[in-house]
Chain A
């Protein structure tokens, strides 16, 4: 930290990206902010509406407020459920994955396969897979006497969406954890063997602390992706039955593009954006702090 002042001219290379971000993000966000304080009857004429959209949105007694409140908690519950399954499962599977020999390549490729499938294809696959008449999964469950119906039973729908996400994205956690595990020098394990450490002690005292950084990345990525989940419920359940799987993004889409209710949608997307931004910032801060402590 005591070198001479750096030449910062490399920042000019970032300018094209800034220009792009201006058009792809900043100007649209500014427009959304403008929409969020106005009402429109179309034809590009707007009327000042002050803070009313936000007041309605944040008041659970109003229709839109109740919708937002429910969708927000639904989305948070979904994110937590996915994280609670994917992170431990990913670590466990990474621990089981082979570390040398011919099996390494095969198992890693097989593990990574679900991640190569685009979201809407995943949705379509599972939509057919879970059907009670022609779907293998659905027909088997119904055959065993379970009340399983994605389009009519809220619990089935919820379970299915969570299972889809676990199937689709646990591989990411596995690969991250696997890379983290491989980066631990052998000396740690040798020292543990000399001390006669148990398997649990090796895991909790060596592997888990060393995985901390990749796990923060995994949690961040998985949280963001589950918090913005759209395609799978849209394709598989359409947000139903009723509104059981109407997550924030789906509700937002319905309000903004279905009902063309720009004011409500703008207020909702800004609050949604604020939550996302806050979570990103918290994770970023935690990650940079972990790095800093490692440097010390």
Chain B
């Protein structure tokens, strides 16, 4: 039924990760409510905002890495993880 979507395990893993994070963040929002806080981004962010900023920023890290002729994708992945942790900690 889903043949036409041409799934690969890599993309499935990516969307699975996003879906898992969304469920996790929803559950956290229900059982560990939070108040938005103002960090280095200078406007109030919740965990969901920080996750969104992480995803978008990571995409740009990969894009700029490839744009300027970077090699293996493990380096930007590492940079994206560091960036994500920084966002969750300081944003």
Contact = CB atoms under 8 A, between A and B. Distances in A.
Interface of A: 27, 30-31, 33-35, 37-38, 40, 44, 46, 48, 51, 54-55, 58-59, 271, 274, 277-278, 281, 285, 289, 292
A37 B73 CA distance: 14
A285 B6 contact: no
B7 interface: yes
B43 A285 contact: yes
A37 B8 contact: yes
Contacts of B60: 274, 278
Interface string B74-87: 00000000000000
B24 interface: no
Nearest to A57: B66
7 contacts: A31-B4, A34-B11, A44-B6, A51-B66, A54-B62, A58-B66, A271-B63
A37 B5 CA distance: 12
Given A40-B6, A274-B60, 15 more contacts: A27-B5, A30-B5, A30-B11, A30-B15, A33-B11, A34-B7, A44-B6, A48-B8, A54-B63, A54-B66, A58-B67, A59-B66, A59-B67, A281-B56, A289-B43
Contacts of B52: 281
Please classify the interface of chain B as helix (H, G, I), strand (E, B), loop, or mixed, using the class held by over half of its residues: helix
A81 to B, nearest CB: 25
Which 8 A-B pairs give the minimum distances between C-beta atoms? Answer: A58-B67, A34-B6, A46-B6, A58-B66, A31-B5, A34-B11, A289-B43, A33-B11
Contact of A55 (B8, B43, B66): B66
Please classify the interface of chain A as helix (H, G, I), strand (E, B), loop, or mixed, using the class held by over half of its residues: helix
A277 B69 CA distance: 24
Chain B interface residue count: which class? 20 to 34
Contact of A274 (B3, B4, B6, B63): B63
A263 to B, nearest CB: 11
B23 interface: no
B59 interface: yes
A66 to B, nearest CB: 13
Nearest to B62: A54
A285 B15 CA distance: 25
A248 to B, nearest CB: 15
B52 to A, nearest CB: 7
